[in-house]
Amino acid sequence: MSIATTNQPTPNNFTELGLIQPLLARLTEMKYQQPTPIQAQAIPSVLARRDLIAGANTGSGKTAAFALPLLQYLHKIKTTKHNNNDGNYVTGLVLVPTRELAKQVADSIKSYAVHFNGAIKTVAVFGGVSANTQMLALRGGTDILVATPGRLLDLISSNAIKLDNVKTLILDEADRMLSLGFTEELASLLALMPKQKQTLLFSATFPEQVKALTLDLLNDPVEIQLQSADSSTLVQRVFTVNKGQKTALLAHLIKQHKWQQSLIFVNAKNACNHLADKLSKRGITAEVFHGDKGQGARTRVLDAFKAGEIQVLIATDIAARGLDIEKLPVVINFDLPRSPADYMHRIGRSGRAGEVGLALSIIDHEDYHHFNVIEKKNKLRLEREQVAGFETIEFEKDVFSSTNKPVAKPEGSGKKKRKNKQQVNADIWLGNV
């Protein structure tokens, strides 16, 4: 496996990456001045038709890193070869875990392709909406298909599409695509594709056990692992609070900081509605986003949030993957995510593409141990902070043992800790100073 690292000299403009004029013109229009690190490293290898495994933070520009070279390749084969494809062919297949991501990735690809003047067709297919419109869109085949696995299998079984012409397969959010929930669907899909093809895996995180699964999928891949320093515009903070006080602290923070927008994560669908009700009683209007909502409602809420018409959105992890919401100032973990990898995905919704962002976790005593695990797995260590008016009863070091004995401290006995640079920055940004 060849390893590319950020230390290698990387081109700092798109022309040097070998991209063709219709793409360069579009990037100029979109005001992309230079490639992001993942783009600079991935694009030459993808253009050279190498397999790739790329670990890069969310918001790092992953979509363009695979979409630009894929479009260039498709343009080349369309103009140099006779098109002898069957009517229901697909050449570039992008598999994604959620419906929203399918739409978002397809929209980005269409936008990068505008100067091909319709010569390259991109279609998105996903569940929750009628399959008929998607079948119609697939008539005559498509150059790029962005799909969630379940709906794709349905469309294959009704002969709307065949995978035997796939030349490039991309797994976006690959760790999720290779995880348990999708294993069977992915195996069925892989069996329908040619063995000879380019395979690209992109994800923010690549846990070791997932990496092991990728060996069968990839042929002599280039590996790119960007350092987390690339997301240094994201400040992470953790506030401790007594049990039963989380909602009050959340409402206080929302009111105090008047964030233009905030995305709040909880762990269950009904918890979204429950928290929205509780916030509403405190004078805060919030919308909810979870898997029980119909697809139409999901799209409407997300579009309104993206357009800035909704200030507070409470969501389950369905919103944690890959969604690109411009200038989202704050992401809040009201419930901690179950897995350490999901923590990274959630917080990656803020601080995207160099914007300043804040990721807050609100934890009570029951969350302490789990937050320690999240930190350890993600190689983080955040100072536990308290908010005036919501001070917690101090717990002894052995708080993680079975006897959680609170140790009340006399008032005023706490030494004021010096703030680190990150917190000072966050305070300036939050208007606390």
CB of 334 to ligand AMP, least distance (A): 24
Report the DSSP beta bridge partners of residue 4. 224
Residue showing tokens 């717990």: 395
Which residues in the 18-37 window bind ligand AMP by CB under 6 A?
Answer: 32, 35-36
Instruction: Please report whether residue 236 would count as binding ligand AMP according to CB under 6 A.
Output: no
**308 Cβ contact list (under 8 Å, min separation 6):** 260, 261
Q: How far apart are CA 310 and CA 298, in angstroms?
A: 13
Nearest alpha carbon to residue 245 among 363, 336, 80:
363
Distances (CA, A) of 58 to 38, 63, 163, 324, 350: 11, 10, 28, 9, 9
Pick between residue 60 and residue 350 the one whose CB is nearest to ligand AMP.
60
Instruction: Please report whether residue 64 would count as binding ligand AMP according to CB under 6 A.
Output: yes
Instruction: Please report whether residue 319 would count as binding ligand AMP according to CB under 6 A.
Output: no
Q: Which range binds ligand AMP by CB under 6 A, 57-65, 92-100, 190-198, 305-313? A: 57-65
Among 324, 335, 342, 367, which residue sits at the site for ligand AMP (rule: CB under 6 A)? 324
Among 59, 92, 141, 340, which residue sits at the site for ligand AMP (rule: CB under 6 A)? 59
Q: How far apart are CA 374 and CA 358, in angstroms?
A: 17
In residues, how long is the chain? 433
Residue 373 identity (one-letter amino acid): V
Contact by Cβ (8 Å): 265, 346: yes
CB of 31 to ligand AMP, least distance (A): 7
Nearest alpha carbon to residue 237 among 404, 419, 16:
419
Instruction: Please report whether residue 62 would count as binding ligand AMP according to CB under 6 A.
Output: yes
Which residues in the 330-359 window bind ligand AMP by CB under 6 A?
Answer: 352-353
Pick between residue 36 and residue 91 the one whose CB is nearest to ligand AMP.
36
CB of 110 to ligand AMP, least distance (A): 13
Q: How far apart are CA 172 and CA 191, in angstroms?
A: 19
Instruction: Please report whether residue 60 would count as binding ligand AMP according to CB under 6 A.
Output: yes
Q: Which range binds ligand AMP by CB under 6 A, 59-67, 78-86, 119-127, 389-397? A: 59-67
Q: What is the contact surface with ligand AMP in residues (CB under 6 A)?
A: 32, 35-36, 39, 59-64, 324, 352-353
